[in-house]
Amino acid sequence: MDMQIIRTSAGSQSPPIPSGVPLGVSACAIRRIAASCNEGRSEMKKARGAVLPASHHGNHPATSRSPTRAPMSTTGELEFKAYAMTDPSAWSDLEVVSFKPKDLGPEDVELAVTHCGVCGSDLHVLQQHWGKAAGDKPVIVGHEIVGKVTRVGERVKGVRPGDRVGVGGGLDSCRECRACKAGYENYCPRMVITPNAAHYDGVSTQGGFATGVRAHESFVFPIPDKVELRHAASMMCAGVTVFNPLRQYGCAPGKKVGVIGVGGLGHYAILFAKAMGAEVFAFTRGTAKADDARKMGADHVVDTTAEGWWQPYDLTLDIIISTIDRLAPSMTMANLLGMLFVHGTFVAVGLPPLAEPLPPIHPFMLSKNGSSISGTLVGSKSDAQAMLELVAEKNVVPWIEELPMSQAKVALEGLHTGKARYRYVLTQDIIPVA
């Protein structure tokens, strides 16, 4: 590796990390599984030579090569900086590196990152649960990215430098397939995912634990003035991942929505379902999070360790959003689907390891109430815009814990051990954005 690495001391006193699979993996995970198997890896190897030798130092002031200062004509010389994993055996020890972003295409937007949320999928990438992470290259995760636009390609219409925007789990898509043309670019089979994959030009994709990010305009979401950037950050993956099915399946006044799991995703599902006017039922193990769930807006909180916890809700719920990736033994599909009202939908947005499928399903479970089982994958630009409009209109404020980006280790390990209440958001501190 031909990069100069500046080691940070962030979180070096943290306790050892227990083994096991992290909780709360969102639907953005599946693209990363696919990415670990596809041709993107060979493209990344080809692109390796594009990384510039670094000559920078950590925590220095902005220079003419920073994303906020570099002139429009020198995209090929630009460097971004980031906190990166350079040693897979120490997955949470991130170090400052410099890297060259992809060239700014005519429809691309560049932003200076102000904040980036921390998602369970970041842990999977860093811990290489979905394959070896990007060869010997530093891995820069983070896909709940917000910041200010620093430059735009010549054909970009929707945003201008200085605008506040967000980027989530995707950076680009083919824009030619049926899904893209229908406005479902998040389901494009060739969607370019945010870290640990490759752009169409072969340059490695990097995440938001960085000073800058470049993405196609269709994956850049303007953030309303009323919404604080630090609040919008974790909406870019966790938020839109649960807003998408709530919108898709008609969450509205008069509907009853069940949310299984009160974590990063579940907390957003409760906040949004309530903001959309539904009656909200939060299902959580034990009572530790019951008060929080009520404060988030849950009308009912159900302890799923209680005997027969599902029985009072037979034929009740219009939508169930399952945000957990491991179902307890009492969470049989008969019990879960049985809680749905007629034509209700069970949506699994928590994604378990590949070897852990849903429990068995018999057609009787679906014929009982005409119910359906669904899944969703992050959200489209349309979903993100609708979500942000709701957030602005209803003043939805997420429950987040903010840390400087140099403390990413604390956030990553906190998420890994289930300490997050309810989402970590990292604030840029390599080159702070004015």
Binder of Zn ion out of 68, 150, 173, 345 (CB under 5 A): 173
Site for Zn ion in 176-205 (CB under 5 A): 177, 180, 188
Site for Zn ion in 9-68 (CB under 5 A): 26, 28
Residue 217 · residue 159 · CB < 8 Å: yes
Does position 257 interact with Zn ion (CB under 5 A)? The reply is no
Does position 388 interact with Zn ion (CB under 5 A)? The reply is no
Closer to Zn ion by CB, 121 or 323: give it.
121
- Reduced to 3 states (helix: H, G, I; strand: E, B; else coil), residue 324 is coil
Site for Zn ion in 128-157 (CB under 5 A): none
CA distance 430 to 271: 32
- DSSP letter, residue 38: S
Smallest separation (angstroms) from Zn ion to the CB of 339: 27
User: Which string of DSSP letters, residue by residue, matches 260-317?
Assistant: E--SHHHHHHHHHHHHTT-EEEEEESSSTTHHHHHHHT-SEEEETTSTTTTGGGTTTE
Query: How many residues would you count in the chain?
Result: 434
Query: Residue 81 contacts by C-beta under 8 Å, 6 or more apart in sequence?
Result: 56, 58, 96, 97, 98, 99, 210, 211, 430, 431
Closer to Zn ion by CB, 180 or 331: give it.
180
* Amino acid at residue number 301: V
Closer to Zn ion by CB, 195 or 338: give it.
195
Closer to Zn ion by CB, 237 or 296: give it.
237
Smallest separation (angstroms) from Zn ion to the CB of 19: 22
HSE (side-chain half, CA atoms, 13 Å) at 269: 32
The 64-103 contact track toward Zn ion, x by CB under 5 A, reads ----------------------------------------
Closer to Zn ion by CB, 172 or 413: give it.
172
Distances (CA, A) of 132 to 3, 92, 129, 317: 20, 16, 8, 41
Does position 323 interact with Zn ion (CB under 5 A)? The reply is no
Does position 349 interact with Zn ion (CB under 5 A)? The reply is no
Which contiguous run of DSSP H or E holds residue 322?
strand 317-322
Q: How far is CA 179 from the centre of its chain?
A: 21
Smallest separation (angstroms) from Zn ion to the CB of 31: 10
Binder of Zn ion out of 10, 96, 119, 149 (CB under 5 A): 119
Give residues in contact with Zn ion (CB under 5 A).
26, 28, 119, 121, 173-174, 177, 180, 188, 237
